[in-house]
Amino acid sequence: MAKLRLILGDQLNTRISSLSDVEKGDLIVMAEVWDEATYVRHHKQKIAFLFSAMRHFARQLEEAGHAVRYVRLDDAGNTGSLFGEVTRALKEFDADGIITTECGEWRLACDIKHWAEKLGLPVEIREDDRFVSTLREFRDWAGDRKTLRMEFFYREMRRKTGLLMDGNDPEGGEWNFDTENRKSLPKGYKSPARKTVQHDSVTKEVLTLVENRFGDHFGSLADFRYGVTRDQALRELDSFIETCLPDFGAYQDAMATGEDYLNHSLVSAYLNAGLLLPMEICEAAEEAFREGHAPLNAVEGFIRQIIGWREYVRGLYWLKMPDYAETNYLNSQRSLPAFYWTGDTDMHCISEAVRNTQEHAYAHHIQRLMVTGNFALLAGIKPQEINEWYLIVYADAYEWVQLPNTHGMAIFADGGMMGSKPYAASGAYINRMSNYCKSCRYAVSQKTGDDACPFNYLYWDFLDRNEKKLRKNGRMGLVFKNLDRKEEDEMTAIRDSARKFLDAL
């Protein structure tokens, strides 16, 4: 008997496990459904990217001779849910079972888990073997460890893959070259030009659909630059390796007004949707190092993002959910400010990050962590609200990767399960790593008062508010010694400035 094989919107690769043994007579089902497009109000460009990529992938499967049932959002009879579309397909296709690859979000996984009972058919949920580490391997690594530090997991992934290894030792004698990756941009620095994508009729049709059906969602489609096929994704990767990777390491933490991409790879949306695979990306970067095209610090830092952070946050997500999403270690209760949606704030760093996000469904990791994430941490924004914002606004955001990065790394809501200390910083950090402060109404040199950079007094107010929970953190001893040196008059001014600013949000 034939199988119904369900392909989700982030599983767009012929090597996905659910297609590993596809046979003639099987039916591949793909569907654009309202439930998945709106369970949060995704950025217009994320919806457009996925719908167009799905349509192109379906055509690729058909051209390879597979039977594909593809349901468009505006097709007559579209039920609006994945379960509804599988049910509808089964009424017309005689299958003795369903095969799919495990999905990337707890919400959907819980739903699919009950399909067999509801449909009266076996549902085989296969492991997602696009990742370097299996979930079982991560659980075994985590074991009974008291702390789950990414750095140690990353070393295991280096050993497993052999990437940047010299026998049993790391290339260059060190596992991590981050000390070489914190340079600010030279004066007048211009980032490499990016390749443009020529959109075909399929993508143009999708852009019109998204504007018509999701016009009230966040973001703009005016500058839609995403590739939507594997070939286009590979060209983006090749362009990054050739033009951006050599300087990626040195300037990966830098930020600049009007420089929306700098030397970053822009492959995360393709990787998370399946158009690219992690090992092929890492092997391309390693080859650039072996050939002398890119330095070790750049290549190691890039590979660490993929086989280190990306694999680690996925393992942590599935290890700790669903309770993980409910943690709120710092008891943050402030509502998300409106400027996260509009960019309408005098804080130039935030307005730039939001503008970039609105225009491209993209911001690089330091903008996410040390600008919008840092502000949410210092201001005490509710975890649920800032988590939802990050899930909505980025084209590469899926809960398995977004939640731990936001919840654990950016806002410390998990109390240190992921990060060893909060990534809290004053305006001095932003000034050191960007030129944002030169264009800001606020003065980064001022510590309190109406004209002071809000990050300055919010930083010390954050430490003061959360002293009972954070002082015992071994990595924050020096910070609290500096807090202890402040006179009471200065602390009063800090508290007053913070209260006035936060009350006005």
pLDDT < 50 positions in the chain = none
Q: What is the pLDDT of residues 146-201, one digit of tens each?
A: 889 999 999 999 999 999 999 999 999 999 998 888 899 998 888 999 888 999 99
* Phi, psi (degrees; rounded to nearest 5) at 58: -60, -40
Collect all residues with Cβ–Cβ distance below 8 Å to 459 and sequence separation of at least 6: 378, 424, 425, 426, 427
CATH number of 339-503: 1.10.579.10
The model's pTM is 0.96
Q: Vertex 490, ends 487 and 494: CA angle to 5°? A: 135
Q: Where do you find CATH 3.40.50.620 in the chain?
A: 2-126
Residues forming CATH 1.10.579.10 domain(s) in the chain: 339-503
Bond prior to 278 in cis (omega within 30° of 0): no
Residues of the chain with CATH 1.25.40.80: 135-320
What pLDDT shows up at residue 419? Answer: 86
Q: Which of 442, 433, 418 is nearest to 153 (CA)?
A: 418
Dihedral of CA atoms 361, 365, 369, 370 in degrees, nearest 10, equals -110
3-state DSSP of 335-397 = CCCCHHHHCCCCCHHHHHHHHHHHHHCCCCHHHHHHHHHHHHHHHCECHHHHHHHHHHHCCCC
Distances from the Cα of 319 to the Cα of 37, 137, 316, angstroms = 26, 11, 5
* CATH level 3 topology of 135-320: 1.25.40
Give the right CATH number for 2-126 from 3.40.50.620, 3.30.450.20, 1.10.10.10, 3.40.50.1220: 3.40.50.620
> What is the tens place of the pLDDT at every residue in 22-77?
999 999 999 999 999 999 999 999 999 999 999 999 999 999 999 999 999 999 99
Q: Which pLDDT does position 391 carry in this prediction?
A: 98
> Alpha-carbon torsion 386, 391, 393, 395, what sign?
positive
